[in-house]
Structure 1
Amino acid sequence: MRLNSLQARLSGLLLLAGLSGALVYAGITQWPVPQLLAWLRHDPRVATHLPVQPGVSGGLLVSMLVLLPLALWLGGQVMAPIRRLLRALEGAVASYRDGDFSFSIAAERRDELGDLIRMHNALGQTLREQRQHLVQRELLLDTVVQHTPVALVLANAAGRIAYANIAARHLFNEGRSLNGLDFNEVLVEVPEPLRRAVQSGEDALLSVQMDGSEETFHLSQRVFRLQGRPHKLYSFRRMTRELSRQEVATWKRVIRVISHELNNSLAPISSLAHSGAELARRGDLARLPGVFATIGERARHLHGFIAGYASFAKLPAPQPQVIDWQAFLDSLALHCRYRLVGQVPEQPGWFDAAQIEQVLINLIKNAHEAGGTEDGVTLALAQVGHDWRIEVADRGPGMSETVLAQALLPFYSTKRAGTGLGLALAREITEAHGGRITLANREEGGLRVSLLLPGRPQ
């Protein structure tokens, strides 16, 4: 125990109070009060006015009367610094509640109260530094949000705009502030497609006519709680320039692919035509059928290549109908080999049989070309809620992360003779049905392609 601790001081004061009480009691009952009273009784002038010599009870009573004010004074001395500290801490708590962390307590003590004061001041310094860093981050975030080209609007549960950045003010209110306005009233002045997209409550990619030109926006809507209250964040991102760049890049890629394929077919055809003419001039007619056969083969390849692109560009809208799974699988087995995993579902499917069959034929063909054993290509059917999941899996080498990220893009292919349209066509057909397609490597090796198709509408 430290000598300057509160416990040591309190123990010292209690010891002083106890010694004082013992001395008062001894002075009243032993010495000098009894001797003084006995000496005064020898004087007849004052003897009649002297009190009776106090006994044990009298001594205790007088001691209590003397010790009571002493105890109050000593208690005040002990509690005075604690009261001052409590008042200071009360003021500090009130300041912290109001967000003011500049409050500190000035006191030089070397006891537990001093330790508490130093810890409090250190806490205040830490909170001030954290508040300063938080303010700096908020300023940085506000600067980024205000100057981002994405229009951001934050509305509360009543539809009142709580926050809008510069892009949103220019998009909806000619640069004027939007705070406090009813967002539904603001939307009255915007183009109809944009207003319908916001009212739908879902993310959307839409094009609207603005300032005499067409603008494409990506709308994102998210609901979250801010300070315990529901809010909704709307983000409007202009996609016109980005889509234009992507369109140009796509056309460049298409031109490169088509040019490469045309050159691969037209160059041999031109060379063979020249060779055929030379053979005919020389009268070597025996070799002409082989030349013409090769020219025909290259022409058929080129025709098939162009037809593939045409089918991708002119994909008809799907015509879903009730599908009996067993009959569908029997028809699919006539075109490709696979091993069915699991049982044939009893509930019927709901999709365009011709289009989905073409998708599965391409996927199973790719699975066989990936390598692995013949029976390693499997087909699995499962009902997931109201949707149907169709999985084609193989035991080939799988795909790298880079290839997985781009495999569904049009014209992307890792095969030397590939057009990059197989998986892209599968994606186009699946999404036209309202479903989605995913690719993933299997843990035991190989690739799994999953189609998720919606069930029959109720």
Structure 2
Amino acid sequence: MLHRLNSLRMRLALGLATMGGAGLALHAALSVWPLPQLLKLAGHPTPAPWGGTALTLTGLALLPLAWWLAGTLTAPLSRLLRALEGAVLSYHDGEFGSSVAAQAPGASTEMLSLMRLHSELGQALREQRQHLAQRELLLDTVVQNTPVALLLSDASGHVVYTNIAARQLLAEGRSLQGSHLDRLLERAPAALREAMEGGEDGLFSVDIEGTEERFHLSRRQFQLQGRPHRLHLLRRMTRELSRQEVASWKRVIRVISHELNNSLAPISSLSHSGAELARRGQTERLPQVFASIGERAAHLHDFLSGYAQFAKLPAPQPGVVAWAPFLERLAAHYAFVLEGEAPTDPGRFDAAQIEQALINLLKNAHESGGNPADIRLQIQSPRGRELRLEVLDRGPGMSETVLAQALLPFYSTKRSGTGLGLALAREIAEAHGGRITLANRSGGGLGVSLILPR
């Protein structure tokens, strides 16, 4: 390091020493010899050695020499700076193939070291660019061939990127880049359009070639190159839901079998004991035996009636529903805070069924683990639009996996849950021609929306 530093200093020192020596020689020639002798022989006055005339003449004579010496000393550095400038401009344009010559005439040790480091930097940037290109190609291949439909849009709603699944779902395989999302959704199925225009993640159904397909929509906001973008992910859930339904039926069969065995085994044992007591004539214990049999039978009846209610949901009988008594009956089951005002116009739906659905949703909200005082019920009923009843809590919310399966019959994350609350609410909503959606709330908690047509 010291050797390289001294090399540059040595050149500058030699240049300054040369200029100093040349200046002294010129000044001596102009003020001592031979110019004063020549002037004296010609009969002209000689300048004083340190007078203004001698110094001025010395300065004027040194200017060309100084200019030539400065150009000679700085020429290698100027060539290096021009080469570096061209290389930096190439980097700015994304071209890393340019390099500065490793050898240059007149280059100092420092310049040679800088050129070598620059060449190593260019080589490192080229290798990193190749690696990034390979990774981008791999990522694009994975994204393009994933079954999840991905659509990236910018802040103005224009499509920036789509994969094959998204193009097949929205445009029959045609390119979507540059299209406006609103115009694309005008040709999309109504359920897909409503889900994309809404602000929540959730499940929806679309009829594709005569077959009902279930999708899960999720959205993410992020910054790309300093600009806001939104990523829409549409996951086809039909096969997964079918698999989960089969698993759910297996679970319910196991639960029912377990409960039947737990009830029938004591009933069988008690019946045998009662028969033995009657044979012996010990009738004083028979009432207790019959009471125990009745308790087990009543428990079994209550257990099975819950499943029967889900399996045999009657067709809804819509009618005009006044909000005040409806909300009063609902609050008698589970406490909640009404967010905003109730609609001034009465609702029109099957009051008993919708009340049961909301009871199930409020029950889940109270069992979510959040503060019961934070449970809200929100009713939105814009004129000419759908009725929206939303139950909000501040519990832990749901993971993506649970959100995708929460509406399945018999699916429950609770140890003692039957998995029928949300499924029954979904059945009631769909029987009314509506739907139910679930979404995690910002700040924590879950929002469950019961949406009914007007």
Aligned-residue offset at 1:185 = 4.3
Read off the aligned partner of 1:31 and give its amino acid letter: W
How do residues 43-442 of structure 1 correspond to structure 2 at under 5 angstroms?
47=42, 52-55=45-48, 56-108=51-103, 109-157=107-155, 159-200=157-198, 202-281=200-279, 283-310=281-308, 410=411, 414=415, 418=416, 420-421=417-418, 425=421
Task: For 2:21, give the aligned amino acid.
Answer: L
Structure 1 range deviating more: 108-117 or 212-221: 108-117
Residue aligned with 2:133, SS: helix
Contact preservation (8 Å) 1:427, 1:437: no
For 2:191, the aligned partner's letter is: P
Question: 2:6 & 2:45 partners in 1: Cα distance?
Answer: 46
**Aligned partners of 1:320 and 1:350 also within 8 Å:** no
Contact residue 435 and residue 451 of structure 1 kept, 8 A:
no
Could you tell me which residue of structure 1 aligns to residue 384 of structure 2?
none
Gaps of 5+ in 1: 42-46, 336-343, 368-377, 393-405, 439-448
The 8 Å contact of residues 149 and 233 in structure 2, kept in 1 or not, is answered as yes
Letter in 2 for 1:148: T
Asked which structure has the greater RCO (Cα within 8 Å, sep 6+), the reply is 2
The gaps in structure 2 that reach 5 residues or longer are: 344-353, 380-389, 396-404, 430-435, 450-454
Q: How far apart are the structure 2 equivalents of 1:177 and 1:361? A: 47
Alignment partners' CA distance in 2, 1:151 and 1:345: 39
- Relative distance call for 1:361 and 1:99 in structure 2 (3 A) is closer
- Taking a change above 3 Å as real, the CA distance of residues 117 and 294 of structure 1, as seen in their structure-2 partners, is same
* Deviation, structure 1 residue 164: 1.9
Assess, with a 3 A threshold, how the Cα gap between structure 1 residues 54 and 112 changes in structure 2: closer, same or farther. Answer: same
CA shift, 1:165, in A, is 1.1
- Which structure is larger by alpha-carbon Rg, 1 or 2? 1
Deviations 1:301-346 (A, max 9, x none): 21222234456776999x89569x99999x78xx9xxxxxxxx999
2:204 aligned counterpart, secondary structure: strand
Shift of 1:233: 3.0
Mark the CA change 1:96 to 1:407 in structure 2 (over 3 Å): closer, same or farther: closer
Alignment CA distance shift 1:8-1:450 (3 Å) = closer
* SS class of match (1:137): helix
Contact 1:155–1:161 (Cα < 8 Å) also in 2: yes
Change in CA separation of 1:281 and 1:411 when aligned onto 2, cut-off 3 Å: farther
8 Å contact kept, 2:151–2:162? yes
Q: CA deviation at 1:157?
A: 5.0
Amino acid at match of 2:23: G
Cα distance 1:436–1:232, how it changes in 2: closer, same or farther (>3 A)? closer
Could you say what secondary structure the match of 2:173 adopts?
coil
Q: 1:198 to 1:86 in 2, by over 3 A?
A: same
For 1:73, the aligned partner's letter is W
Rounded Cα–Cα distance in structure 2 between residues aligned with 1:188 and 1:381 = 38
Match of 1:25 in 2: 27
For the Cα contact (< 8 Å) 2:202–2:439, is it kept in 1?
A: no
1:400 paired residue number: none
The answer on whether the counterparts of 1:427 and 1:436 sit within 8 Å (CA) in structure 2 is no
Q: Deviations over 1:345-393 (max 9, x none)?
A: 99999899999899999999x99xxxxxxxxxx975699999998899x
Change in Cα spacing, 1:237 to 1:202, as seen in structure 2 (3 Å) is same
TM-score normalised over the length of structure 2: 0.68
Write the letter of the residue equivalent to 2:295.
E
State the alpha-carbon separation in 2 of the partners of residues 170 and 64 from structure 1.
Answer: 83
Deviation at 1:145, TM superposition (A): 0.7
Alpha-carbon offset, residue 207 of structure 1? 0.9
Are the structure 2 counterparts of residues 126 and 172 from structure 1 closer, same or farther at C-alpha, using a change threshold of 3 Å?
Answer: same
Q: Matches of 1:296 and 1:159 in 2, distance apart?
A: 65
| CA 1:53–1:82: 2 relative to 1, 3 Å | same
Amino acid at match of 2:15: L
Q: Deviations over 1:412-458 (max 9, x none)?
A: 554xxx4x24x97499889x9x99999xxxxxxxxxx989899xxxx
Asked whether the 8 Å contact 1:222–1:233 carries over to 2, the reply is yes
C-alpha deviation, 1:91, in angstroms: 0.5
Q: Could you say if the C-alpha distance between residues 221 and 52 of structure 1 is closer, same or farther in structure 2, counting changes exceeding 3 Å? A: same
Residue 204 of structure 1 and its aligned partner are, at CA, apart by 3.8
SS at match of 2:235: strand
Amino acid corresponding to residue 23 of structure 1 in structure 2:
A
2:2 matches 1:9: no
SS at match of 2:217: strand
Q: Number of aligned pairs?
A: 397
Instruction: Label 1:355 to 1:321 Cα distance change in 2 as closer, same or farther (>3 A).
Output: farther
CA offset at residue 230 of structure 1? Answer: 4.8
Which residue of 2 is the match for residue 397 of structure 1?
A: none
Give the 3 Å change call, closer, same or farther, for CA 312–11 of structure 1 in structure 2. Answer: farther
